[in-house]
Structure formats: C-alpha cells, structure tokens
Amino acid sequence: MGDLSDKVATVIDLGNYQELAIRLARDFGKVNFFKPWKRSAPSYHSLVIGQGFDEINRVRNLFDVVNETDIFIFPDVYDADLQLHLERLGKRVWGSRRAEEFEFNRGLFKRTLKEVGLPVPEYVEIQGMTALREFLEDHADEEWFIKRHLLRGDGETCAAENIELSRAILGQMDAYYGGLKELFKFIVEKKVEAAIEVAYDGICVDGQFTDGFVGCEAKNRAYIAAFTAYQDMNEHVRTVNEAFAPKLKECRMRSMWGTEIRVSEDGKPYFIDATCRMPSPPGELMLEMIGNLSEIIWHGSVGEFVQAEPVKPFGVEVMVYADWEDASTLPMQVPDKVRQWFKFDSCCKVGNTYHSIQFGGDEHYPWIRSQVAEIVAIGDSVEEAIELAKGYADELIGLNCEVTIEALADALKDIRAGEKEGVEFSANDIPDPSTILED
C-alpha cells in the first residue's frame, strides 16, 4: 500500500461511524473527526461523540481544518452539497455525492430502475396518511411494503401483511406524524415473491465494483461473509450492478455500495433497495477484512480504481444490545488486546470506558435505540471467525449488555437453505448451525 503517513484525512460523520476514522488512523498521518452538533440549544452529548480516542482528533468546527485536510471522507448520505463544494475547492472527496439519492429518494430510485432496464415491482407513490390509509383499505387482501420517502429517520420499511395489522401500524404512524401527517410521502410496493435473495456489499468507484462480500444477515443481529471475487458473484448481482453502473459513474459515486435483490421464480432480478454509504452490517466488518481500505479511499476519491485485498477470506459480525433504562449513555469496557474487534456506535471514551450515546446524541430519548456496538472477527474459515467472535464477546464488560452470538446459527441456516436453491456462499464447508450454541 502507498505511504499515507504524511496525509491528513477528515471524516465527516453524522454520528454512527467514528470507528471508520479510528481504522483510517492506522494509515493516515492524522485523522480529524467531525460530527455536526450545533442547534439553538446544543447538547454536550452530541458534541462529545468521537471524543477521547487517542487515534483521532475530534473537531468542533469543520472549517477550522479545511486548509490542512488532504482528503474528506463521508461515510453517510445527505451531504452531497458539502461534498461537491469541497471538491470545487480542490480537495479530494470520498463519498456518494448525488448518487446518495438512490437510497432515500424512493421515487427517483424506481424511475431509474425503469430507465436502466431493470424490472420494477408494482408500486404507487402516495401523499399523506389519509391517502395511504385509503389505499391499504382498498387492497386489504394483498401484501405491500410501506417505505418512507427521503428521510430515513421517519421510520424503517414495514410490511402491510393484512388490513388488521396495517391499521395498527397506521395508528402508530398517525401518532408519530401528528399534524404533519398529510405532508409525508410514501412508496407502497407490492411484495415480490422471491425464489432466492442475493446481494452485493463492496465498494464502487465511478461505476467500477471491487471484489466484496457474499454474505447472509440474520436481520439486525448477525452477519456472515465470504470474501468473493466480483466475477464469481451471482449473475443477478452483476446484472444489477452493471445496469446501474452508468448512473453511478455519472454521479461520480465513490463509496461503499450495497444492493438487495429478490429474484423471482421466472428469474427476474428485482433491485429492492440501494445502500449508498457505509452499511451496518457489514460495514464494520469491512474495516478489518479489507486490508487496503485506506488506499482504496485515497485513490478512489479522485476516480482511480484500486482492487480490494482481503486480510482473511471469511468474517462474522454480531451486534451488542443493551437495556437503557433511564441512562443517556451506556458504559462498556474491553481489554486493549481485543479493542480492534469492537466497533462502538455514537461513542466517546472517558478513561478506559467507552460510552455509547444514543439517538444521535439526543439524551432526551435514550430508549429509542438499543444497539450499542458490533463485534467483528475474521478467519481462514467460518468456524475460526465464529470461535474468535465468541472469545471477543466474553471479554466485554457492559451495563445490561447482550451479544447476539446465537443469531449466527440463524445466518448459517439461511446460508445452507440458499445453497440448496443454488446460491453458493463458498466452496468451503459450512459448519452445522447447532455448533454455535456449544461452549
């Protein structure tokens, strides 16, 4: 890898990815970390995210470090305007730029699918809660997915499986949106009955795709990955990527890139959702599994493609959850010998204790989010990675913390089920799911 020890990187994060900055500090001479925190009555909780880590410099004001910065790195979406401005100033910029809209502008995403010739599920764009309720009442016997338009914080995609469940979901949405409920836009999408599900998790530089992960996620609990050469990935993964490549090149997207694809019985690949940022999972695992990540980012920021090089061929990621009770921060401790394998969310460090600060640093709603960290492990086999993850988990001391190790068994079951349907995970043998629960 080229020497970056004389380069200054500044990571501009919205609160979840300070571990990327810590990882890059192994290669760059200096890494600044900036998270927006200003509002009319700012909270100290938001300001201290990223503080206390010796590896990085927590920056209070972004433009204090613009002149010294060689490369700006954006792991999240919503900052395309700032990325383009910094680029106009002559700075290297790593980020998705205007391609970010393919993730959260649902209408644009659907129209782009049609434009590039990919199949599109039946869907409607709906304005306001009244129209949404009427639509679901009129389609009471059909299964749809409700997707929020533009802002991820307004809620995750949810299934409307039948009208009784839908009415309960709609009631919750009414309460949340309140008097603004007619301003919100939705994409309501017909469920695609899938024969198989496949995905790509890797890196895109101007429509070129690195080798990456063939993986399986037990939703929000665990992830298992096999590092795979791009040309060996599922044909539907490559079909979707190549169809979308001209649009990503046009936007000069230089970022991690993920796809979720449902393949129907007749072999049509339905591209359901795009990830135009560092995913979670398996973004945390990428930090340790891709050995030349800093080099990819440095060269990719100006459109130079560098192939990803794996440290090990297999990896796993498990989540750490906690019962918050009334706390606005959640304290955790891990020994230095395993610190590399713990990825803390929205976190600061005080002494030898890591404090996860939830809900983007808003201490008024500590119960909103309970995931506080991820544990990653890599190995020459799935078994080795799993055993390492178990060992790392045993080292964690945390208040009311739970590690979702057992969810790896569910991921293994899904991998085996997928292989029976022709979705190859790896040429290596996959361990029996029951072994996960063994001591």
User: Which of 69-83, 312-326, 384-398 shows the lowest per-residue confidence on average (mean pLDDT)?
Assistant: 312-326
Q: Find, among 191, 113, 107, 179, the residue nearest to 149 by Cα.
A: 107
What's the pTM? 0.94
- Find out if CATH 3.40.120.10 is the number for domain 314-405: no
User: Which residue intervals of the chain bear CATH 3.40.50.20?
Assistant: 8-95
CB burial readout 399-426, b (16+ within 10 A) else e = bebbbbbebbbbbbbbbeebeeeebebb
Q: Which CATH number fits domain 193-300: 3.30.565.10, 3.30.470.20, 3.30.1330.10, 3.60.130.10?
A: 3.30.470.20
Cross-strand partners of 348: 355
Q: Answer yes or no: is pLDDT of 361 > 70.
A: no
**pLDDT tens per residue across span 178-189:** 999 999 999 999
Rank 15-19, 225-229, 369-373 by mean pLDDT and report only the highest. 225-229
- Say if residues 281 and 217 touch (Cβ distance below 8 Å): yes
- Say if residues 289 and 311 touch (Cβ distance below 8 Å): yes
pLDDT of residue 437: 65
User: Which residue intervals of the chain bear CATH 3.30.1490.20?
Assistant: 122-190
Peptide bond between residue 75 and the one before it cis (omega within 30 degrees of 0): no
Q: Find, among 106, 197, 101, 88, the residue nearest to 145 by Cα.
A: 106
* Residue 13, φ and ψ in degrees, nearest 5: -120, 155
- Say if residues 330 and 356 touch (Cβ distance below 8 Å): yes
Q: Answer yes or no: is pLDDT of 375 > 70.
A: yes
- Spatial separation of the C-alpha atoms in residues 277 and 103, rounded to whole Å: 9
- Collapse the DSSP code of 338 into the 3-class scheme (helix H, G, I; strand E, B; otherwise coil) and give the result: helix
Q: Answer yes or no: is pLDDT of 368 > 90.
A: no
In eight-state DSSP terms, residue 384 is H
Q: What's 48-63 look like in SS3?
A: CCCCCCCCCEEECCHH
User: Which of 125-134, 316-325, 366-375 shows the lowest per-residue confidence on average (mean pLDDT)?
Assistant: 366-375
Q: Where are the beta strands (DSSP E) in 265-313?
A: 269-275
* Token reading at 8: 């200054």
- Find out if CATH 3.40.50.10490 is the number for domain 122-190: no
Quickly state the pLDDT bin for 363 (edges 50, 70, 90): very low
User: Which residue intervals of the chain bear CATH 3.30.470.20?
Assistant: 193-300
User: Which of 274-288, 356-370, 425-439 shows the lowest per-residue confidence on average (mean pLDDT)?
Assistant: 356-370
Q: Identify the H or E element spanning 295.
A: helix 293-300
Q: Find, among 106, 128, 124, 125, the residue nearest to 180 by Cα.
A: 128
Class of domain 8-95: alpha beta
* Strand 222-228 with 254-264, pairing: unpaired
Determine how many CB atoms are found less than 10 A away from the CB of residue 11: 28
Q: Answer yes or no: is pLDDT of 360 > 80.
A: no
- Say if residues 210 and 156 touch (Cβ distance below 8 Å): no
Rounded to the nearest integer, the mean pLDDT of the chain is 92
Peptide bond between residue 431 and the one before it cis (omega within 30 degrees of 0): no
Tell me what percent of the residues of the chain surpass a pLDDT of 70: 95
Of 39 and 338, more confident: 338
Q: Find, among 394, 304, 400, the residue nearest to 341 by Cα.
A: 394
Give me the residue label for tokens 């492990």: 377
Cross-strand partners of 9: 31, 71
pLDDT of residue 325: 61
Quickly state the pLDDT bin for 142 (edges 50, 70, 90): confident
**pLDDT tens per residue across span 282-297:** 999 999 999 999 999 9
Alpha helices in 48-128 (DSSP H): 80-88, 101-104, 106-116
Determine how many CB atoms are found less than 10 A away from the CB of residue 345: 24
